[in-house]
């Protein structure tokens, strides 16, 4: 019987640049990362796993090398910065995740944990059980954590709050929103594999019936819509956010909150200006390594 294989693309780096490399690989491949650090040498290896060899092209390798140079130019010690690729057995990959992922608490309202950890939730704490997979989004990444934190602290238990998740990946934000009581919840992604994974994760968390998960291209949806959301999360690249700002803002309720995440620190000001021209103002933000995320509301 033929063993299923995956392709592991790795970057050897340092502890200092670990988070920046994690987010870079997430943006390049749309997948969550595995992280291994040698405690003696402090050398860190960040890896993503692809199902097809064709996902790793010479052009993508050159672009990744250029991005690593950009990270180094910000002053971060990127270490060796070596890029490598190897074939691994799927069974070996699935077991390797268990060494790297631990429960994540978002205040007292939300707990994200893998299925193999038997940690009980606190009183009134919503639980999302999510095993790392080939689609991005486990809560370990700073941009995802910012979105989760904003979702948790802005939930008003006695109010009706709808949620739209743009670029859902693993579905973690939509699942967390449903668990916290947001309704209705809608999640979209351009990648059909991400949509499949998000639906499966929602099913395993018992909220599939509470979330509408669809494959959709943001650039192709109608410019305006009657559907308005109390909360929107868009974890997308800055170019796409700026180009489609009108489509996004037109779906935000007057009293709503928009969270934009996964933006390079040096590009965030451009995104901020673009959305301020649409009548929004920045009310909170967080810089983590080379990445910046922010929350916006309509100016009064």
Confidence at residue 105, expressed as pLDDT on a 0 to 100 scale = 81
Q: Are 211 and 186 in contact (CB under 8 A)?
A: yes
Q: Are 261 and 267 in contact (CB under 8 A)?
A: no
Mean residue pLDDT of the chain comes to 85
Residue 133 has pLDDT above 60, yes or no: no
Read off φ and ψ for residue 160, nearest 5 degrees.
-85, 120
Residue 140 has pLDDT above 60, yes or no: no
Which residue did the predictor score with more confidence, 41 or 21? 21
For CA atoms 94, 98, 101, 104, give the dihedral sign.
positive
Which of 227, 202, 237, 196 is closest to 214 using CA atoms?
Answer: 196
Proportion of the chain above pLDDT 70, given as a percent: 88
Residue 290 has pLDDT above 80, yes or no: no
Confidence at residue 135, expressed as pLDDT on a 0 to 100 scale = 46
Residue 147 has pLDDT above 50, yes or no: yes
pLDDT band for position 1 (cuts 50, 70, 90): very low
Residue 230 has pLDDT above 60, yes or no: yes
Percent helix, strand and coil across the chain, each to the nearest 5: 35, 30, 35
Which residue did the predictor score with more confidence, 215 or 192? 215
């Amino acid at each position: 019987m033929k063993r299923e294989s995956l392709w592991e693309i790795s970057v050897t780096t340092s502890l200092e640049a670990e988070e920046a490399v994690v987010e870079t690989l997430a943006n390049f491949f749309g997948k969550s990362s595995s992280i291994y650090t040698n405690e003696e040498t402090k050398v860190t290896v960040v890896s993503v796993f692809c199902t097809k060899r064709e996902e790793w092209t010479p052009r993508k390798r050159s672009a990744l090398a250029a991005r690593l140079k950009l990270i180094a130019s910000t002053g971060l010690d990127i270490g060796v910065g070596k890029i490598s690729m190897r074939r691994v057995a799927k069974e070996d990959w699935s077991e390797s995740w268990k060494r790297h992922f631990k429960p994540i608490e978002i205040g007292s309202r939300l707990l994200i944990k893998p299925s193999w950890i038997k940690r009980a939730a606190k009183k009134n704490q919503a639980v999302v059980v999510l095993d790392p997979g080939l689609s991005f989004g486990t809560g370990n990444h700073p941009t995802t954590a910012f979105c989760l934190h904003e979702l948790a602290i802005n939930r008003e238990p006695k109010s009706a709050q709808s949620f739209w998740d743009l670029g859902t990946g693993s579905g973690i934000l939509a699942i967390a929103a449903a668990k916290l009581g947001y309704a209705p919840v809608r999640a979209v992604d351009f990648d059909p594999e991400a949509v499949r994974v998000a639906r499966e994760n929602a099913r395993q968390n018992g909220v599939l019936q509470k979330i509408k998960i669809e494959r959709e291209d943001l650039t192709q949806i109608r410019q305006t819509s009657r559907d308005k959301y109390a909360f929107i999360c868009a974890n997308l690249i800055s170019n796409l956010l700026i180009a489609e700002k009108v489509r996004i803002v037109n779906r935000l309720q007057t009293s709503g909150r928009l969270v934009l995440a996964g933006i390079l620190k040096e590009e965030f000001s451009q995104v901020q200006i673009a959305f301020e021209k649409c009548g929004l103002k920045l009310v909170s933000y967080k810089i983590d390594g080379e990445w910046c995320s922010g929350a916006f509301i309509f100016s009064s």
